[in-house]
A and B are shown apart, each in its own frame.
Chain A
Amino acid sequence: MSGLTRVLALGLALLPGIALASEGKRIEIKGELIDTWCYFSGVMGGPEAVTGSAHHTCALWCAAGGIPVGLLGEDGEVYMVLKLPDDDNSAGGDTFVELTNDTINAEGMMYERDGLKYLVVSEVISNDGVANLTHEDYGVIPGFAIPKKKIKAVTVE
């Protein structure tokens, strides 16, 4: 790229109102729909503890709270999900809440932009439900996920 082209490209990129959509790639991918905040930030411990059944209640809170949902692929990479079938309400939409921690096989378009991978899911081909049984190793994360009154109701039976 010549110096002039570089200057022009940067100038255009900085113009308000111009969306530079990237070229997507159609993919099929299997993985778990996770709460990306707890996964990347480490606020509740290591990454294995904040996926699957151990973290399901907290992930529901985060999905309903509008925290981005990602698909943790079998390759270990996180694909930020921008749309699920018939639901582009990625900030707390119903489908994003309903599929929390489900392991799905999905088809859709994958986009890469500035170091992140984004996924626009057109079809959920199969859904194994919550299949990552992390509670067997970690209990529940955070520890207060199950309210005391529920624990008391069960243990005094």
Chain B
Amino acid sequence: MRSLAIIAALVAAPFFLSASASAAEECEAKSWNLSGQQKACFSAKVVDILCEVAGNCPANCGDGKRQLGLLRTDNGKLVYPQKNLQSTFNGAVADLAPHCGKTIDVRGWLVGDEETLKGAAQLYQVQWIRAEGGEWKKANKWTKDWAKKNPDAKGKGPWFRRDPRVKEEIDEGGYLGLGPDEDIVFIKDNY
């Protein structure tokens, strides 16, 4: 039994060392004045959340189509990254997907306060990512990925005004989601 404990401790040791090495650096992240924000820098393995919680595990974490999580090396807890560093309504998967199954360092903020969390764990905004042996890079890949996937949507203005799916939804359901006729009533009453 003692040898089993020693093996387990040896297996875990590099991860604890990695976490403490990361923590020894200054934890730099830009404040967005988010509800309940707490600066958080840690090492973590990038995982497919559906695989982690439900055992549904396609190859390569779902190739960037599924939400990805951060399995912290210091405490083994699964952290949910909701957001990247960009300010235009973008998630974090484009930045995390290239690191599927690998351990990375991240800098960012744990987010959420008791009013909305109601006892649940805080979620995460990832601002910076460092691959093993690499340099820190901003988590800002989403819009470039979108432009590659939507070459016909080139034009002026931000992506969210040009996105074909968003435009289709608004054409059908209006800006309020209640149908285009309700938009007209709302605009006439409020502008």
Q: Is B a genuine binding partner of A?
A: yes
Q: Which residues of A contact B (CB under 8 A)?
A: 4, 7-8, 10-17, 19-22, 24, 36-37, 39-43, 47, 53-54, 56-58, 60-62, 64-68, 76-78, 80, 82-83, 88-94, 97-98, 100-101, 109, 111, 113-118, 120, 129-130, 133, 135, 139-140, 145-147, 150-151, 154-155
Q: 9 closest Cβ contacts across the A-B interface?
A: A115-B121, A11-B8, A66-B91, A42-B35, A130-B177, A21-B55, A56-B177, A40-B112, A13-B76
Contact A88 B53 (CB under 8 A): no
- Docked Cα-Cα span, A82 to B186, in Å, equals 34
Which among B32, B57, B67, B187 is the interface contact of A90 at CB below 8 angstroms? Answer: B67
A58 and B176 in contact (CB under 8 A), knowing A118-B53, A139-B190, A146-B183? no
Tell me which residues across on chain B come within 8 A of A146, comparing CB atoms.
Answer: 175, 183, 187
Contact A67 B187 (CB under 8 A): no
Q: Which residue of A lies closest to B158 (CB)?
A: A61
Tell me which residues across on chain B come within 8 A of A90, comparing CB atoms.
Answer: 49-50, 65-67
Q: B25 in the interface, Cβ–Cβ < 8 Å?
A: no
Tell me which residues across on chain A come within 8 A of B186, comparing CB atoms.
Answer: 135, 140
Contact A11 B170 (CB under 8 A): no
Tell me which residues across on chain B come within 8 A of A56, comparing CB atoms.
Answer: 173, 175-177
A60 and B170 in contact (CB under 8 A), knowing A4-B1, A41-B34, A94-B165? yes
Contact A65 B8 (CB under 8 A): no
Contact B51 A19 (CB under 8 A): yes
**How many chain B residues touch A (Cβ–Cβ < 8 Å)?**
79
Which among B50, B94, B115 is the interface contact of A88 at CB below 8 angstroms? Answer: B50
CB B142 to nearest CB in A, in angstroms, measures: 7
- Docked Cα-Cα span, A67 to B125, in Å, equals 11
Which among A11, A12, A68, A130 is the interface contact of B91 at CB below 8 angstroms? Answer: A68
User: How does the 8 Å CB contact mask read for B101-134 relative to A, with 1 for contact and 0 for none?
Assistant: 1010000000111011111111101000000000
